[in-house]
C-alpha cells in the first residue's frame, strides 16, 4: 500500500517515465515481504536499455525491473534508495521522507 504522495506527483512521474527519462517517485509503503522498509523509491523509464544501464551503477539486475503497467521501474530501498536520490539531486526527497536518519552508516 502506497501513501504520502499526491496525484500530481504520480502524474508527473508517469509523464517523465513515458518520455524516456529516468524518473523517481518516493512514497511511504508497507509490505510484509520487506519488514523494516517504510519507504520505497520507484526509479522508472520506458527506455529499458537506459534503465538497465542506470541500474548497473547501483548493482541492480535487469530481472529486478518491475514491468507492471506501462511504467517499468526498479524499486529502491535502504542505502541504494538514498544514494540514488542524492545522485539525482533529489535531496528534498531524502529530507521529506527522513531517509538519512534511517539509513546512515
pTM for this model (two decimals): 0.89
Domain count of the fold of the chain: 1
pLDDT at 35 > cutoff 90: no
Q: Are strands 2-3 and 39-44 parallel, antiparallel or unpaired?
A: unpaired
DSSP string across 34-72: STT--EEEEEE-S-HHHHHHHHHTTT--GGG-B--TT--
Mean pLDDT of 38-45: 95
CA angle centred on 73, ends 22 and 38, rounded to 5°: 105
For the stretch 48-104, pLDDT in tens is 999 999 999 999 999 999 998 899 999 999 899 999 999 999 999 999 999 987 654
Could you list the residue range(s) of the whole structural domain that residue 71 is in? Answer: 2-102
- Identify the bridge partners of residue 25 per DSSP, sorted by sequence position: 42
CA–CA gap between residue 2 and residue 93 (Å, rounded): 16
Amino acid at each position: 500500500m502506497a501513501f504520502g504522495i499526491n496525484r500530481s506527483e504520480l502524474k508527473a512521474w508517469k509523464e517523465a517515465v513515458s518520455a524516456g527519462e529516468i524518473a523517481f517517485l518516493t512514497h511511504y509503503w508497507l509490505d510484509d515481504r520487506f519488514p523494516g522498509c517504510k519507504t520505497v523509491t520507484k526509479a522508472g523509464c520506458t527506455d529499458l536499455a537506459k534503465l538497465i544501464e542506470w541500474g548497473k551503477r547501483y548493482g541492480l539486475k535487469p530481472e529486478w525491473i518491475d514491468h507492471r503497467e506501462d511504467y517499468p521501474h526498479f524499486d529502491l530501498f535502504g542505502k541504494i534508495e538514498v544514494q540514488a536520490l542524492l545522485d539525482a539531486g533529489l535531496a528534498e526527497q531524502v529530507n521529506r521522507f527522513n531517509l538519512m536518519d534511517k539509513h546512515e552508516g
